[in-house]
């Protein structure tokens, strides 16, 4: 099958992990990004050409025991991470996030970035060319919107690494997106 022409060959796949709690956040704390998982997918070759974890130091919250159990990240793991502003700059500088098309599984990641940028007065690091891979997958297969692990099982793909690790989840989402591109079901970047 011939791949369609894309104005750009590379797609950033983003999956974040954020501080979280079993119930409501403790007083004075808000959910903040603590890991930005990134996988770069070549849309022509369908190769996952880069994989990265950017640890982010929370400034208005602490990593809870619940969060550590879910993500595997501890307070010590993120203590020496980049500031959120530095992480956004890395996305722009190293991954052309402000000009390259990107995708995430659902809208949580995009909305969390918007909230956190708004709360901190920072410029949003991504281009407007976002695709909700969960929505595209559901439409392509005439299914309800599945979680990433459910979609991998549906596609007959293994879950590589640890679920709720941003880097591993971005890698797995990229495999699902590659399948959608191969099937002609992925929206062309504009």
pLDDT tens digits, one per residue of 140-157 = 999 999 999 999 999 999
Please say whether the beta carbons of 95 and 155 come within 8 A: no
Query: Which among 47, 49, 38 is positioned nearest to 91, based on CA atoms?
Result: 38
Residue 189's pLDDT is what? 56
pLDDT per residue over 60-111, tens digit each? Answer: 999 999 999 999 999 999 999 999 999 999 999 999 999 999 999 999 999 9
Beta-ladder partners of 16: 36
**Statement: residue 4 has pLDDT above 50:** no
Q: Report the C-alpha gap between 189 and 102 in whole angstroms.
A: 9
pLDDT band at 5 (very low <50, low <70, confident <90, very high): very low
Both tokens assigned to 2:
């011939």
Average predicted confidence (pLDDT) for the chain = 95
Burial 161-175 (b: 16+ CB within 10 A, else e): eebbbbbbbbbbbbb
Which residues are bridge partners to 55 per DSSP? 35
In whole angstroms, give the CA distance from residue 31 to residue 179.
32
Name the pLDDT band for 21 (thresholds 50, 70, 90). very high
Distance between CA atoms of 32 and 115, rounded to whole angstroms? 9
pLDDT at 118 over 90: yes
Element (H, E) at 155: helix 148-155
Domain ranges of the chain: 10-182
Name the CATH superfamily for 10-182: Ribonuclease H-like superfamily/Ribonuclease H (3.30.420.10)
Q: How confident is the model at residue 2 (pLDDT cuts 50, 70, 90)?
A: very low
């Amino acid at each position: 099958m011939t791949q369609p022409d894309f104005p750009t060959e590379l797609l950033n796949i983003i999956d974040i992990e954020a501080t979280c709690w079993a119930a409501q956040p403790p007083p004075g704390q808000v959910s903040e990004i603590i890991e930005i998982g990134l996988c770069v997918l070549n849309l022509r070759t369908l190769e996952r050409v880069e994989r990265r974890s950017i640890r982010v130091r929370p400034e208005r919250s602490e990593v809870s025991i619940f969060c550590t159990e879910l993500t595997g990240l501890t307070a010590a793991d993120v203590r020496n991470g980049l500031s959120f502003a530095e992480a956004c700059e890395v996305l722009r500088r190293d991954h052309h996030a402000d000009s390259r098309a990107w995708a995430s599984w659902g809208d949580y990641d995009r909305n969390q970035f918007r909230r956190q940028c708004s709360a901190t007065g920072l410029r949003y690091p991504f281009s407007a060319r976002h695709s909700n891979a969960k929505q595209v997958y559901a439409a392509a297969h005439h299914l309800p919107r599945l979680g990433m692990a459910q979609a991998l099982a549906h596609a007959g793909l293994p879950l590589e690494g640890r679920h709720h690790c941003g880097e591993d989840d971005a890698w797995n989402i990229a495999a699902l997106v590659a399948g959608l591109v191969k099937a002609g079901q992925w929206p062309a970047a504009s």
